[in-house]
Amino acid sequence: MKVYLGIDVGSVTTKLAALDESKELVASVYLPTAGQPVTMVQEGLKQLKQQIPSAARICGVATTGSARYLAGVLTGADLVKNEITAHAVAALHYVPAVRTIIEIGGQDSKIILVQDGVVTDFGTNTVCAAGTGSFLDHQAQRLGMTIEEFSRKALVSKNPVRIAGRCTVFAESDMVHKQQMGHRTEDIVYGLCRALVRNYLSSVAAGKIIEFPVVFQGGVAFNQGMVRAFREELQRDIVIPPHHEVMGAIGAALLVQEKMAGSTDDSRFKGFAAGEIDYQTSSFECHSCPNQCEMAQVVSGGKVLARWGGRCDIWETGSQS
């Protein structure tokens, strides 16, 4: 059994997805990154190994996400790809006619516009966390409920209050004010969802024409309050694809399957034993030029395995040590 592995390491969550030759998902792992991408990638490999058949052979590995280069070094990836491409490929796999992709993760938001199966434009929001999974989780905790309860309450709201959603600080203070005024919790919760959707459409999607079908993916698509708010604001139905929380990893797996199909080389995958290797990561500032780039590196057994993060390749090529 040939299996292709995609790994998506974000700032909040780490996702792994394994596809068979028919591009069917055979195993997936969804873990909190918790500021430990190395540990979570290794834990993900351990869990994935238990899910796939023992006779399965990993024929290709691709990494994506904010820590894609690090994950690529740890696993011996055959391909390292940006999140925009990975999410677009996954969305096209499940909804070939997709024109707009809304992707909201733990700490950032994206919009991807597609025409004839090709990405034509995209936008991201990495400055403010309003509307992301981490902000929604924080507000649920502040209200003394789980994110699942938060989602359910948003669905039963009949008179949502208006919340200022352009900033996390203002949104939270406005929610407190509405609580003090005596508004119902479900109306405050859904009011927040509507505010965050308005913020997304006016900032991340600013200046872009949203065409249908629209696919909503990422971990926040679990939140039915946000799904309801998008549907009401856009006045059309939106598609929630299967496995929406691991779409970045699925896209990476699809990309590496395509790459390896046209190659005669074997995968560089280090094997599931990579989950047991002792790695250390660190960073340093390069003073070779005025840019003073902050370089990242990963070390194992006293040997530097890789360095990245510079505007030039002075460190990557080993011309300095």
pLDDT one-digit tens code per residue, 88-105: 999 999 999 999 999 998
93 domain-assigned: no
The dihedral formed by the CA atoms of 208, 211, 214 and 219, expressed in degrees to the nearest 10: 0
282 domain-assigned: yes
Task: Tell me how many domains the chain contains.
Answer: 3
The dihedral formed by the CA atoms of 136, 62, 211 and 218, expressed in degrees to the nearest 10: -20
Residue 2: name the closest of 60, 44, 46 by CA.
60
Whether 126 shows a pLDDT value over 70: the answer reads no
User: Using 50, 70 and 90 to split pLDDT, how confident is the model at 317?
Assistant: very low
Do 106 and 218 lie in one domain? The reply is yes
pLDDT, position 316:
65
Structure tokens at 261: 């199909």
Whether 8 shows a pLDDT value over 70: the answer reads yes
pLDDT, position 128:
67
Interior angle at CA 272, CA 269 and CA 276, nearest 5: 120
CA distance 249 to 15: 6
31 domain-assigned: yes
Do 235 and 102 lie in one domain? The reply is yes
Whether 169 shows a pLDDT value over 80: the answer reads no
Residue 92: name the closest of 271, 239, 236 by CA.
239
30 domain-assigned: yes
29 domain-assigned: yes
Interior angle at CA 102, CA 134 and CA 231, nearest 5: 95
The upper half-sphere exposure of residue 157, i.e. CA atoms within 13 Å in the direction of its Cβ, equals 28
User: Using 50, 70 and 90 to split pLDDT, how confident is the model at 319?
Assistant: very low
Do 121 and 166 lie in one domain? The reply is yes
Do 105 and 231 lie in one domain? The reply is yes
Do 226 and 253 lie in one domain? The reply is no
Beta carbons within 10 angstroms of residue 270's beta carbon: 17
Global model pTM greater than 0.85: yes
Do 142 and 235 lie in one domain? The reply is yes
CA distance 79 to 139: 37
pLDDT, position 168:
75
Question: Domain span at residue 298?
Answer: 278-321
Q: Which distant-in-sequence residues (6+ apart) come within 8 Å of 268 by Cβ?
A: 61, 76, 77, 78
Q: What is the pLDDT of residues 173-209, one digit of tens each?
A: 889 899 899 999 999 999 999 999 998 998 899 999 9
pLDDT, position 214:
98
Q: Look up tokens 């979570």; give the residue.
A: 40
Q: What is the pLDDT of residues 200-229, one digit of tens each?
A: 998 899 999 999 999 999 999 999 999 999
- Strand duo 79-80 + 57-64: pairing: parallel
Q: Mean pLDDT in the chain?
A: 91
Whether 320 shows a pLDDT value over 90: the answer reads no
304 domain-assigned: yes
pLDDT, position 298:
85
Interior angle at CA 189, CA 188 and CA 193, nearest 5: 115
Do 254 and 228 lie in one domain? The reply is no
| C-alpha R_g of the chain | 21
Do 62 and 165 lie in one domain? The reply is no
User: Are 145 and 223 contacting, i.e. CB atoms less than 8 angstroms apart?
Assistant: no
Do 262 and 312 lie in one domain? The reply is no
194 domain-assigned: yes
Stated as kind and residue range, the H or E segment containing 168 is helix 168-180
Which of helix, strand or coil describes residue 249? helix
pLDDT, position 172:
84
Give the CATH number of the domain where residue 67 resides: 3.30.420.40
Do 184 and 107 lie in one domain? The reply is yes
Alpha carbon distance, N-terminus to C-terminus of the chain: 42
User: Please, is 85 exposed, middle or buried when counting C-beta atoms within 10 Å of its C-beta (0-12, 13-18, 19+)?
Assistant: middle
User: Are 99 and 119 contacting, i.e. CB atoms less than 8 angstroms apart?
Assistant: no
Do 104 and 233 lie in one domain? The reply is yes
CA distance 59 to 4: 6
92 domain-assigned: no
Do 198 and 269 lie in one domain? The reply is no
